A and B are shown apart, each in its own frame.
Chain A
Amino acid sequence: MTNRETILLVEDNPDEAELARLAFGRIEGDYDLHIVNTGEEAMRVLFAYGQCEESALGCKPALILLDIDLPRLSGFELLRQLRASADYQHTPVVFLTTSDESRDVARGYSLGVNSYLLKPLDFERFTELLQSVSNYWLKYNTRVH
């Protein structure tokens, strides 16, 4: 296990993914960002950690960032399955979305999401937000080992 941590971002829109990658490129911290485009792919990489070498994912991610509106396997469903598994029961999962629909927020928390974050319009503020989130969950927050 390396010192570097892995952040998994599940985002179906390639432009969003690229913006996120650009924003992550500007923040400080020892981590690798791994982006997958669908829920299914996320499931595949998450539960293939046994074969770390084969997996694109270095190892079990320390933070998972989820979009809600994913084709077929939605963010909610993905979250439900993660919380149901022994491996990701305590892994911090954060929703990163543009919808502040209170119904979605409530559903997210009831399914056990750790944070529900709205992506701001301003790119600079988006970058700041990502910095804060990774700092909080990867540096300050105490984790279950």
Chain B
Amino acid sequence: MSTTSDLRPAGPIVSAWKQIGQILRRQGIGQRLLFYIILFSSLVTLLATAVQLYTDYQRDVGQIKSRLADIESSYMASIGASLWNLDVNQLRLQLDGILHLPDIDAVAVYELSEGVDRPLSIVLGEFKKNQAIVREYAISRDFSGEMQQVGLLKVQASLQAVYARLWDKAIVILLSQGIKTFLVSLFILYVFYRLVTVHLGAIARHLAGYQVVEPGPALALQRKSRQPKDELDQVVDAFNQLTGNLEDAYQHMREINTALADDIIARREAEEEVKRLNAVLEERVIQRTAQLEAANRELASFCYSVSHDLRAPLRRIEGFRRILAEQLSAQGAAERSGHYLSRIETGTQEMNDMIDSFLQLSRSTQCELQVVSVDLSAIAESVLQELQQHEPQRRARFDVKPQVRVDGDRSLMTLLLRNLLHNAWKYSGKKDMAHIAFGFTQADNGSRTYYVSDQGDGFDMAYADRLFSPFNRLHTSEEFEGTGIGLATVQRIVARHGGRIWAEAEPGKGARFYFTLWDRNRDDKQGNDIAGGGQSG
């Protein structure tokens, strides 16, 4: 069904009628419009009819009233005379005359004289209570200057005719007005339909079929264009502008989408590349790990060799040196030979120590950590006691904070404290009184910094960065014996326990070694090694 075909001018009235029929059948604006027009129009009609009828009624009643007034002025004197004379015939004639006046349907005369047995009473017509105006006129006589009532004239004017006229008029008005209202309404409806509804329908259909992907032709209504543009034209313009904007936006979105799709493809490719690189990297890491493991195994076997192969010949040198020394001594050989032999003994002893330290260093790096709760205080006490027993002649004061427990590998923790305390003991050797302390300080956040301090020989902080690298000694062997591996071992043990180690010292005043364990954020302090003077505090 299309509105355009219905609008063809084949019998315009029939066509319009059909359309109106359609409009009425359709639950739409037309139906509602018709309802409201008829409702309002009927109300106005009713009101106007009521006003009209009221004025008509007033006019008719006014006429009747003036007629009644005329009766008084024209009949009263003669009726008064007839009554006084008791001229019944004359009275009847007069009353009949009144009765024939328009709208008058009953008239009566009553005698009101005192002392009369049968007062005169003439009644023409019938007095009713409804739909009538009744007037009573006093009939008076002038008795030597004194007016005296002698009778009563009663006139009834019927309103029935008035009402009938009003009724007829009302019916005519209502009928004509009703038909007019209905026709006007239909006409308005038709006009409204032609002007608005049909276009609204067209707009609605256009809107329903609109697709931003395939916009099709712009919205245009089948009607003459007007200047200036009316509301429908404005709606059409606004809609066309809106769809134009929408198409632009859609186009823009499509462009962005395309760009985005390209971007996604590029990104996916990049991701693939990253994945590929990752795989390569992983492969490389696996290779490196394997290499590292191989290297570690080599190192382990090297350490094994060192422990066995180097130590064995050293033992033999020492063994034969000993026997040689005994034999030379028995033969009473020169003191010089004995001196050389004792130098050999020192050398072998030193080398043996070095092998031991080297093995310690390698083991501190290699062995698997077995973390348990370790009482550092107990270890420190026992190490210091051992040192004192070994050199009972030395005077010393030990200050070990009790009950310092940490989580760590027991043997490595022992090695750590042993190395630090041995150092402290060794470098306090030139003082009259060694003063060695072990304990910790606690920061506000609860993290602990452990320390081993002595008041021994100390060292120049300028060399602090070399402190923890293997085979770097800050003292000559003549000053203090040592292998130069102990602190490297200590550093590795601390590093394996997720901590840092650093030292503060002053020549002649002593040294203080600090270490931490299981630091949480180590990234800002990359160097767990060689912290040196920068880490003071």
Contacts and interface: CB of A to CB of B under 8 A. Distances in A.
Contacts of A54: none
Interface of B: 304, 307-308, 311-312, 314-316, 318-320, 322-323, 348-349, 352
A13 B319 CA distance: 14
A126 interface: yes
Given A15-B320, A22-B319, A119-B315, 11 more contacts: A16-B312, A19-B315, A97-B308, A98-B312, A100-B307, A101-B308, A120-B315, A121-B349, A121-B352, A124-B322, A126-B319
A122 B314 CA distance: 10
A98 B315 contact: yes
A99 interface: yes
B308 A122 contact: no
Contacts of B348: 121
A140 B311 CA distance: 31
A123 interface: yes
A127 B323 CA distance: 12
A40 interface: no
A22 B488 CA distance: 40
A123 B308 contact: no
A22 B319 CA distance: 10
A126 to B, nearest CB: 7
Interface in A103-143: 119-124, 126
B322 A123 contact: yes
Contacts of A5: none
A40 B312 CA distance: 22
A15 B316 contact: yes
A22 B308 CA distance: 22
B308 A99 contact: yes
B318 A16 contact: no
A15 B314 CA distance: 11
Given A13-B312, A98-B312, A123 B319 contact: yes
Contacts of A99: 304, 307-308, 311
- Give the interface centre of B318, B319, B322, B348 by most chain A CB atoms within 10 Å: B319
B307 A16 contact: no
B178 to A, nearest CB: 121
Contacts of A98: 307-308, 311-312, 315
B357 to A, nearest CB: 14
A120 to B, nearest CB: 8
A101 B352 CA distance: 16
A101 B307 contact: yes
A122 B319 CA distance: 7
Nearest to A67: B312
A19 B319 CA distance: 7
B314 to A, nearest CB: 7
Given A100-B307, A101-B307, A121 B315 contact: yes
A69 to B, nearest CB: 6
Contacts of B319: 19, 22-23, 123, 126
